[in-house]
Chains A and B, each alone.
Chain A
Amino acid sequence: MNTSDKRELICISCPLGCQLSVDVSDGKPVSVSGNQCKRGIVYAESEILNPRRILTTTIRIKGGVVSQLPVRTKEPISKDLMMQAMRELRKYEVNAPVELGEVIVSDLLGTGVDVIASRTVVKAE
């Protein structure tokens, strides 16, 4: 059956937060309006087909100047995996020192996406 409808989205690509209107046919985005830049189109298409987000959280770190290491997925992962990813990341603990961008967990939940450190943590003196 052919189904078409209009989906209203708020673009999260930047702080402007454009109100997007997407024509969807058979679950696929056909056209996007309301965007002020190309990122809006990319976001709308991905949001209809497979909504994805960058996940940011913290992991315990030992022997560093701080006790929590901020981490992020290097690329966005499927929105549906957020809670599962959080449960997985809770298992990890790392030791200082850690460099910004260092891979902390590779291939998170088989997504092919790595989790990286989002700051440098030097050893505590």
Chain B
Amino acid sequence: MTASVQERDLVVIGGGPAGLAAALAAKEDGIDDVLIIERSDELGGILNQCIHNGFGIHLFEKELTGPEYAERFIKDVMKEQIECLTGTVVTGLSREREITAVGQESGLLKIKAKAVVLAMGCRERTRSAIHIPGDRPAGVFTAGTIQQLINLDGYLPGKTVVILGSGDIGLIMARRLTLEGVKVQGVVEIMSYPGGLNRNIAQCLNDFGIPLYLSHTVVEIRGKERVEGVVVAPVDSRRVPILDRSFYVPCDTIVLSVGLIPENELSRMADVRLSSTTSGAYVDENLQTSVDGIFACGNVLHVHDVVDFVTRESWRAGKNAARFIKSGLPQCGIAVKPGKNVRYVVPHMVSGEQDVEFFLRASRPMGRSVLSIQPGLREVRQRIVKPSEMISVTLSADVIAKAKSSGEIRFELDERGTGQ
């Protein structure tokens, strides 16, 4: 089957918070021909199933639920008459920005775009990604699947639950399951600190007296047809389970909240260079990837903990995609590198010609710290540092320009007073 090739200015792949913001920003900057392609039947992405509140505090100074947050942007997209193809899956993307997509109503599509914004989001790590030994019974779900089953489909997955991993979605689901009458036996976390935000420990676990087992892991899943229980063991400082201190917890359901992975299959097809640390693309300050005219933003670029930051980042991606279409973008010659105690910094390249907001994550929890941006560009005091909480810092063009001679900016975290 062949399809004639359509020419479009901007194609945004993904209609979640990242895609919606990028499309709106490009439209605002004068790109009239914008197309959003969304895999599911509705715009809004994962926000549709995130019915809890806590979205929008930074952007709107209000606590919105996921659907409320999404609807603000969906309404704007409708008002701006931005074209959206829902129920349509992008199956191919080339370096030349040729897109193949297929949908029940749209059929087979071939599109050649002047610019593409990658906004596909991320997906969850599964049981196979973390290697739990034991039987293979029914009843093992990822937290996001549970969230979809309860909040969108109206089903309860089980009666007694153990949650493995303390990511935010797992914590949120601990509360949601409890409210729906399910017994949550506990949250088991292999690290010595929680993966999710403090506020979710407080309002999702502590509020309901749900125990959090830090430095513990599930060493065995038991059950033939259906999960009957798990064996939990503490781990030593090298995260090796101490089996003679293990204990059995009966449950019919296991919920995994063990991390998210940016969904970059399309980026790989287009030869977009990916980072092994973030699993997302290398981007410059314009959110442009290693391939000209292909931009990335939101959770497909790096996993964010707050949607407001996704919106802000994606807004810039949309603006810069518009600039690329109209006049092209300047080269970025200064490399951005993570230094001591910093796991990653995004973006990876900057020019010194414009202000840039940097997003970074620490590699370990730290107390009162100083974030120093080398060579001697700035020092920012941090009250407390956690890998689960992304740090954002904006540097002005003239400050960044000071690094032109060295060609490199390095972000380092030091605990105050200890030099560690």
Q: Is the CB of A65 within 8 A of B198?
A: no
* B57 CB within 8 Å of chain A: yes
* B53 CB within 8 Å of chain A: yes
**A72/B53 contact (C-beta < 8 A), A10-B201, A17-B202, A53-B207 known:** yes
CB-CB contacts below 8 Å: B41-83 with A:
41-42, 48, 51-54, 57-58, 63, 65-68, 70-71
Chain A contacts for B66, CB-based, 8 A: 70
Chain B contacts for A86, CB-based, 8 A: 179-181
Closest A residue to B181 using CB positions: A86
Chain A contacts for B42, CB-based, 8 A: 65
Q: Is the CB of B198 within 8 A of A17?
A: yes
* A side interface size, CB within 8 A: 32
* B393 CB within 8 Å of chain A: no
Closest B residue to A11 using CB positions: B199
CB-CB contacts below 8 Å: B264-312 with A:
305-306
Shortest beta-carbon distance, B105 to chain A, in Å? Answer: 13
Q: Is the CB of A68 within 8 A of B152?
A: yes
Shortest beta-carbon distance, B338 to chain A, in Å? Answer: 22
Q: Is the CB of A118 within 8 A of B51?
A: yes
* A110 CB within 8 Å of chain B: no
* B239 CB within 8 Å of chain A: no
Shortest beta-carbon distance, B139 to chain A, in Å? Answer: 22
* B side interface size, CB within 8 A: 37
Q: Is the CB of B151 within 8 A of A68?
A: yes
CB-CB contacts below 8 Å: A71-125 with B:
72, 79, 82-83, 86, 100, 118-120
Q: Is the CB of B199 within 8 A of A14?
A: yes
Q: Is the CB of A57 within 8 A of B179?
A: yes
Chain A contacts for B197, CB-based, 8 A: 15, 17
Q: Is the CB of A15 within 8 A of B71?
A: no
Chain A contacts for B67, CB-based, 8 A: 70, 100, 118-119
Q: Is the CB of B68 within 8 A of A100?
A: yes
Shortest beta-carbon distance, A24 to chain B, in Å? Answer: 17
Closest A residue to B42 using CB positions: A65
Q: Is the CB of B207 within 8 A of A58?
A: no
CB-CB contacts below 8 Å: A33-62 with B:
36, 53-58, 60
Q: Is the CB of A68 within 8 A of B154?
A: yes
Chain A contacts for B207, CB-based, 8 A: 53, 79
Shortest beta-carbon distance, B252 to chain A, in Å? Answer: 21
Q: Is the CB of A119 within 8 A of B202?
A: no
Interface residues of B (CB under 8 A from A): 41-42, 48, 51-54, 57-58, 63, 65-68, 70-71, 150-154, 179-181, 197-199, 201-203, 206-207, 305-306, 383-384, 389
A-B contact pairs, 15 of them (CB 8 A): A12-B203, A13-B199, A15-B54, A15-B57, A53-B203, A54-B63, A56-B51, A57-B180, A60-B154, A67-B153, A70-B66, A72-B51, A72-B65, A86-B181, A119-B71
Given contacts A65-B42, A86-B180, 8 further A-B contacts (CB under 8 A): A53-B203, A56-B51, A57-B180, A58-B154, A60-B154, A67-B152, A68-B154, A118-B67
Closest 4 pairs (CB-CB, A-B): A17-B198, A119-B67, A10-B202, A70-B51
